[in-house]
Structure 1
């Protein structure tokens, strides 16, 4: 059953305003979702010609390295030399910032996480991507293709960059026995009160939903990004309860490393790269994908609908997911590459093993960040789910 036109338009308005304000662009179509939303009609590029001389990118830190951070870390210069496309990069700190930067029309491509990609598609900010024009796409893991956060009705809106899980990390000298469940960060009687940490973002509400999926099946949560009123309130209540034992929330991963090294934090959500760096700096930490599963991310390189340099943008997309470059960025950032052949190019022969690059059973337990929208992403009809604007308001309330 397809929603009525008025319901669809309302969902689109809710989704687009969730990205930081503003109105729906004239002529825009409904927000995408698993149950039948159609994105704005935008044509994908049909051929790649000579590069325009430059490409303007919005990216996460560590994704577009040209040797200026570390002379030994550079996959941009070879691209510029091969294509004649000068790379200009704007580093964004959050998904909301990425969405707002792309809406200015000044950028050609963006490395969007799943909590931004649907917003960009719904607003008509990005265009479908013709993957037949990107040779390296053939070798991308099937487990990353045609997913709800990077495609709509089988049409790709970008190319997968890499992926990772949000893990549970603890100090082995303090937290005993070794935990295997998220209960250690949600138990109000936790012996680690004041030293529990959690990710500082509205999308963290999904982490609570994942835990409730396993511990309160009567709530009927099937997708942690598709929460109706009752399900959402249960997640919010759990996080308000958790707030009483939180020492600090983190968004800067270097600060979380320091907190675990000093002992200010002893247990909480983390990324594999944080675990690796902390261990490298002699912190007594371990991490696990808990038995309930976890949230995670799979970033997507997307092309602006009105890109001024579309040829260079396509050339960049092909380059960043090519085996060598994809291996370099995956190792430097600390994530699983998207290109299967990248595993043969990593300096550390065990990189793909460490980051579970080929382990689909592992990633089947990972619920990748996806933008919550009013149309329930789990396929339900006749019920409204909480959209990202509601998640943002609730997160402000949770933190107090």
Structure 2
């Protein structure tokens, strides 16, 4: 039986995606091993596939499950439906908090989860372990994406790596000169772009401030932007409150960010590469960079709902989305590095994998992938408690005002 210490932590993780104001803060400062500080509900992975059930409800980041409706030339859902007989329904989300809430409805079979959602889904029992032997293309996935703290617990895989990338610094070249190389352009209170900064609308954005402080104020002792004690957390929150007057808007819909950058309401901000690509394609003078401090980012995982009635279709989808053909298409469309190296020879842009550093573990090491903050400090400290995601959510409400 799980002890009360572990149950409190699981409750904290679950609360982070629901009504946070009603949730207490976990008081644990140690864990049961595995690095994440909790023991997941006991759920079994599939032992063998059955006949495809004929339907699949997908919950995904925008751009991850395209069926040609946004662009007739962008479609890797239809070939999947034709090959498997699984009729696909896609629901997109804008933030990990939204995704966690939607998964709790039990209406979706698979989800593309970032690291700030995956542990919450695992702890709540919303997703189940994945038998990777039933996903043939998994064998080809880059090793440095497997068995990571955001997609595995106690050496048990809970999903299939899909792609990864950085939350880049983007800027309009006609209004921001010289080209920025540091996040200071967004955080310095004397930034010349006051009222023209655009930032991501999520509590996990606190990690961006923590990363900046980790490099610019080493005396704070921040070693991991997702492991913040009271002093470190308060410094990060204070920085974001200081930044607030600089920000024109916070975005969760990348299309709205693209519009703001295109019409000049914002000239510098944090963005996904897909936003940069889209805005450039529509004629705006936009570029992006990975600043000297590094960046937060994502390594996304396809996970199977524990309540799914379409699990064979779910496994077929996971294998499809990391197949060389589909993985090449989604990586190029979204603007990320593919998980499968065989995808690199199939991208329309022959230099896509070079541009996005696919397979470059040294580059990947500069990215601090979204990870669910918990009270057990994931930087290895055991003498203090860190702020959990519930605290991050409450602080984010205060920051935005």
TM normalised by structure 1 equals 0.93
Matched, 1:357 2:374: no
Alignment partners' CA distance in 1, 2:37 and 2:252: 34
Matches within 5 A, 1:96-107: 96-107=97-108
- Correspondence for 2:6 among 5, 8, 14: 8
The corresponding residue for 2:147 is: 146
1:33 Cα deviation from its structure 2 partner: 6.1
Alignment partners' CA distance in 2, 1:35 and 1:72: 41
Alignment partners' CA distance in 1, 2:112 and 2:193: 36
1:36 Cα deviation from its structure 2 partner: 4.6
Look up the SS of the partner of 2:190 in the other structure. coil
Look up the SS of the partner of 1:244 in the other structure. helix
Look up the SS of the partner of 1:278 in the other structure. helix
Matches within 5 A, 1:262-341: 262-341=263-342
The corresponding residue for 1:392 is: 393
1:354 Cα deviation from its structure 2 partner: 2.1
Matches within 5 A, 1:74-223: 74-223=75-224
The corresponding residue for 2:344 is: 343
Look up the SS of the partner of 1:302 in the other structure. strand
Alignment partners' CA distance in 2, 1:258 and 1:101: 26
1:35 Cα deviation from its structure 2 partner: 5.5
1:136 Cα deviation from its structure 2 partner: 0.4
Larger deviation, residues 373-382 vs 363-372: 373-382
Instruction: Identify if the C-alpha distance between structure 1 residues 279 and 104 changes in structure 2 by more than 3 Å, giving closer, same or farther.
Output: closer
Instruction: Identify if the C-alpha distance between structure 1 residues 243 and 147 changes in structure 2 by more than 3 Å, giving closer, same or farther.
Output: same
> 1:349-395: per-residue Cα shift (whole Å, max 9, x none)?
12212222232222111001111112222222232211111111101
> 1:33-54: per-residue Cα shift (whole Å, max 9, x none)?
6165221111111111221222
The corresponding residue for 1:232 is: 233
Look up the SS of the partner of 1:249 in the other structure. strand
The corresponding residue for 2:28 is: none
Whether contact under 8 Å (1:32, 1:122) holds in the other structure is no
Whether contact under 8 Å (2:36, 2:153) holds in the other structure is no
State the number of aligned residues. 392
Instruction: Identify if the C-alpha distance between structure 1 residues 296 and 158 changes in structure 2 by more than 3 Å, giving closer, same or farther.
Output: same
The corresponding residue for 1:27 is: none
Alignment partners' CA distance in 2, 1:373 and 1:36: 8
Whether contact under 8 Å (1:33, 1:375) holds in the other structure is no
Larger deviation, residues 72-81 vs 113-122: 72-81
Alignment partners' CA distance in 1, 2:267 and 2:67: 35
1:258 Cα deviation from its structure 2 partner: 2.5
Alignment partners' CA distance in 2, 1:275 and 1:325: 22
Alignment partners' CA distance in 1, 2:37 and 2:266: 44
Unaligned runs of 5+ in 1: 25-29
Unaligned runs of 5+ in 2: 24-30
